Structure 1
Amino acid sequence: MNPNELRTVTVTRYITPLREGGSLPALAEADDDFKYVLKFKGAGHGGKALIAELLGGEIARALGFKVPELVFANLHEAFGRTEGDEEIQDLLKASQGLNLALHFLSGAINFDPVVTKVDPLLASKIVWLDAFITNVDRSYRNTNMLIWHKELWLIDHGASFYFHHSWTNMEKSAKTPFNLIKDHVLLPQASKLEEVNRECKAILTEEKIRNIVNLIPVEWLEWEGAEESPEEIRETYARFLLIRLENSEVFIKEAKNAR
């Protein structure tokens, strides 16, 4: 059994959409009586956004960050038939089957870089993570971090791994310096990048990376028009991460120059 195994829940109640925009995540309740932030495979970038969310979140957890529990969330065929909003009803219909959900941190507040100072080691580690997974979405405009019980939590990694939207020349993509790191909200504090580079590379063994990649459900990998099998697509993600890890000095140098 994969030690990273995720629980699977069944969504029982759609409570409310969480924000405007293409992906329309929702607050929902599941059959374990917990509330979740539900991400739909029928939204925006579909399964690829869920893959990025899953890989990014579990890599962050492996590195020791606080990340809300991720679970697979089943949406049954009959779910949402009574939903009055047509757009939401279409979204629910397109998302039947397996989706992804994050445990809802009730009472959490958005991270504000003006109010909360992050120490250089933690800031460096978060910058390293986002450069590694090519996460374009941890800027001043959208920090995608929460403060919950006075601790920093990382959320929303669905904009990572942007190479998979074009799915061409993976090896070249894996070796890119990731110049968008210049917009990272924590870059000014990230003065210990060399130190965390050594630490993170030691933690992320090939076995650990492959265990995380193997969590991707087959139904998220059955891409329309794809020539590769789900197993071959999984292997491409694993190779992307392993090549990127091997060439981490490329993105470390970029981040240091951007500072």
Structure 2
Amino acid sequence: MLRETSATRYVAPLREGGSLPGIVEADDLGTYVMKFTGAGQGRKSLVAEVICGGLARRLGLRVPELVRMSLDPVIGRSEPDQEVQALLKASAGLNLGMDFLPGSLGYDPLAFRVSAAEAGRVVWFDAVVNNVDRSWRNPNLLVWHGDLWLIDHGAALIWHHNWQAAGASAARAYDASDHALAPFNPDVATAAAELAPRVTGDLLAAVLAEVPEAWLADEPGFGGPDEVRAAYAEVLAARAASVHERITLGPPTPERGSNAPGWLTAWPHRKPEAAR
């Protein structure tokens, strides 16, 4: 299970992306980027963060620690922005915290080169979770202490927005032509040979157990959270087994807009240099 914390001070909003996350301090004396259940994309974005973060961590990829974070909206009473106040009020209770990486920098391919092996692992992982939001336009990568860290997976697992078509999603190809790490000749075949056998039923069960029950409850078409978890596991296992055969790497397409869903592009994406 994810560690549990409580937010004690709202520090500042992060005005990029569509979810308006905020920097908060917590009762464990840590600083986190908090993502809210009351944001426009709702709890499924947080479910995607938990599943993708847990899977990446177990496969040896670097992701900031995630925690279950309780919120009392009163901590934002000094925040003058009415939109932030409304978001906090709509998010009372359980939310998601992501460890704040102080001094980290937004990924720049001209300043930080990645090996073909590491690029292959990241591209393969993004193909498994069908992450449509790690392009050269919006890398969602940080560099911290000389290492590459993966952040912001709320747009992944896109099939969970339409479970009736989830089976078809398992067989869908993944176009990595615009991936942020495509220029580094990602060695996807080696990554698949190394990582796919590790995506076992037990590993997926451990990952999915970290998703709070409340965020899986009342899902249309399912009898309860355990059935929802089983549906996620089925699609992820199928993609992990064979998606490497359907990853395409062509020339980038500067004339094409982002593949991210519309709710993610509702706000201008402005990547700060410091950690998010």
CA distance in 2, matches of 1:243, 1:203: 13
* Structure 1 stretch displaced more, 240-249 or 131-140: 240-249
Counterpart of 2:210 (choices 215, 223, 247) is 215
Q: CA deviation at 1:77?
A: 5.4
* Structure 2 counterpart of 1:7: 3
Counterpart of 2:229 (choices 210, 231, 234) is 234
* Structure 2 counterpart of 1:182: 177
* Structure 1 stretch displaced more, 186-195 or 202-211: 186-195
Other structure's SS at 1:238 match: helix
The gaps in structure 1 that reach 5 residues or longer are none
* Structure 1 counterpart of 2:150: 154
Note if contact 1:175-1:250 (Cα within 8 Å) is conserved in structure 2.
no
* Structure 1 counterpart of 2:117: 121
Alignment deviations for residues 177-225 of structure 1 (CA, whole Å, 9 cap, x no partner): 123x22101123234211110101122221001110111101111247x
* Structure 2 counterpart of 1:59: 55
Matches within 5 A, 1:107-146: 107-146=103-142
Counterpart of 1:255 (choices 235, 248, 258) is 248
Note if contact 2:68-2:95 (Cα within 8 Å) is conserved in structure 1.
yes
* Structure 2 counterpart of 1:26: 22
CA distance in 2, matches of 1:145, 1:178: 19
Other structure's SS at 1:156 match: coil
The RMSD of aligned alpha carbons is 1.8
CA distance in 2, matches of 1:230, 1:60: 22
Counterpart of 1:100 (choices 90, 96, 103) is 96
Report sequence identity in percent.
Answer: 43
Note if contact 2:167-2:235 (Cα within 8 Å) is conserved in structure 1.
yes
What one-letter code is carried by the residue in structure 1 that aligns with 2:248?
A: A
Alignment deviations for residues 142-193 of structure 1 (CA, whole Å, 9 cap, x no partner): 11111111111111111101111222221111110123x2210112323421
Other structure's SS at 2:164 match: coil
What one-letter code is carried by the residue in structure 1 that aligns with 2:196?
A: K
Q: CA deviation at 1:127?
A: 0.5
Give the direction of change, closer, same or farther, for the CA distance of 1:88–1:191 in structure 2 (3 Å limit): closer
Counterpart of 2:199 (choices 187, 197, 204) is 204
Q: CA deviation at 1:83?
A: 3.5
Note if contact 1:120-1:189 (Cα within 8 Å) is conserved in structure 2.
yes
Note if contact 1:171-1:243 (Cα within 8 Å) is conserved in structure 2.
no
* Structure 1 counterpart of 2:274: none
CA distance in 2, matches of 1:84, 1:214: 38
Q: CA deviation at 1:33?
A: 1.0
Note if contact 2:124-2:244 (Cα within 8 Å) is conserved in structure 1.
no
What one-letter code is carried by the residue in structure 1 that aligns with 2:234?
A: R
CA distance in 1, matches of 2:79, 2:230: 39
Q: CA deviation at 1:247?
A: 2.6
Matches within 5 A, 1:25-104: 25-76=21-72, 78-104=74-100
TM-score, normalized by length of structure 2?
0.86
TM-score, normalized by length of structure 1?
0.91
